[in-house]
Amino acid sequence: MSLASRTQSSSSIMEKAMNEDSVPQCLIEFEKYLDQLQMMKKKKSPREILANIRRNVIEKKEKAQKFLINKLEENLVEKIRMVAVNRKAAEEAGRLKMSFWREINKRGGTNVKLVMKKVITASDVNNKQERLLLPFGKLQIESRDFLRADEEKMLEEKGGSIKVMLIQPKFVEEIGHVVNDIDLRKWKGGYVLTTKQWNLVVERNEIKEHQVFHVWSFRVGEGQTKLGFALVRI
């Protein structure tokens, strides 16, 4: 309400007050007018409203900047972590013989991990055992997760096993380079690769007691669900 309109309103109210018949009504209107003035005092001017808007914008901008900075920091930390992981994978890949790397790649293999350094024992080449023991105590700490949670659960069950593939130490024409029919089981002392073809693998690859191998794991198949191993002589 402008100053002129306020003055006009107050004058009209005073004129009514001169008429005795309209005194009660005049008082009511005057009270309303005072209420209006009070309400107008509470209302903020355009400048005050604009200042509030600016303050809100600045506050929201600062919050958004803090949020973005936090996100950038999180992303940076994750990138640094992934660089370290990829560098570790690259180092391991560098230690894996190229022929095995190509064999894994040919099958679309990923998630290559060095599981352990395995020294062949007498029981590993015993033709009555037909298995290769991978002791828990020899597992690489960073590769203990080569099994998925559901696979670990399956192996925990009585008689539980999962089918895996094995890339042999060297190519043998009679049995091929890869053995698919291998069971991975879990014993008290470690994991076990067992197959009726194991004795043939030992014989054809000339695996002997005290020889040292790297055991690598990898994933193949749709969704990388199938687990594979590579036995590499070092």
Q: Could you list the residue range(s) of the whole structural domain that residue 208 is in? A: 97-233
Contacts 24+ apart (CB under 8 A), 141-150: 142/88, 142/113, 143/113, 143/114, 143/115, 143/116, 143/217, 146/113, 146/115, 146/217, 146/227, 147/227
Same domain, 215 and 102: yes
**pLDDT above 60 (res 2):** no
Q: Nearest CA to 108 among 232, 226, 230?
A: 226
**In-domain check, residue 216:** yes
Q: Please state, in angstroms and rounded to a whole number, the distance separating the CA atoms of residues 169 and 233.
A: 6
Q: What is the DSSP string of 74-131?
A: HHHHHHHHHHHHHHHHHHHHHHS-HHHHHHHHHTT-EEEEEEEEEEPPTGGG-TTT-E
Q: Which of 109-113, 137-141, 163-167 is predicted least confidently?
A: 137-141
**In-domain check, residue 89:** no
CATH (domain of 112):
2.40.330.10
Q: What is the pLDDT of residues 103-126, one digit of tens each?
A: 888 888 888 888 999 999 999 999
Same domain, 22 and 137: no
State which of 20-29, 127-136, 138-147 shows the largest mean pLDDT. Answer: 127-136
**In-domain check, residue 187:** yes
**In-domain check, residue 220:** yes
**In-domain check, residue 88:** no
Same domain, 28 and 123: no
Q: What are phi and psi of 7, to 5 degrees?
A: -65, -40
Same domain, 36 and 151: no
**In-domain check, residue 191:** yes
Predicted TM-score of the model (pTM): 0.57
Same domain, 121 and 210: yes
Same domain, 10 and 116: no
Structural domain count, the chain: 2
Band of the pLDDT at 36, cuts 50, 70, 90? Answer: low
Q: Nearest CA to 170 among 88, 231, 217?
A: 231
Q: What is the pLDDT of residues 68-106, one digit of tens each?
A: 888 888 877 777 766 565 555 555 555 677 778 888 888
Same domain, 23 and 106: no
**In-domain check, residue 228:** yes
Q: pLDDT > 70: what percent of the chain?
A: 67
**In-domain check, residue 125:** yes
Q: What is the pLDDT of residues 190-230, one digit of tens each?
A: 999 998 889 989 998 999 999 999 999 999 887 778 999 99
Same domain, 106 and 36: no
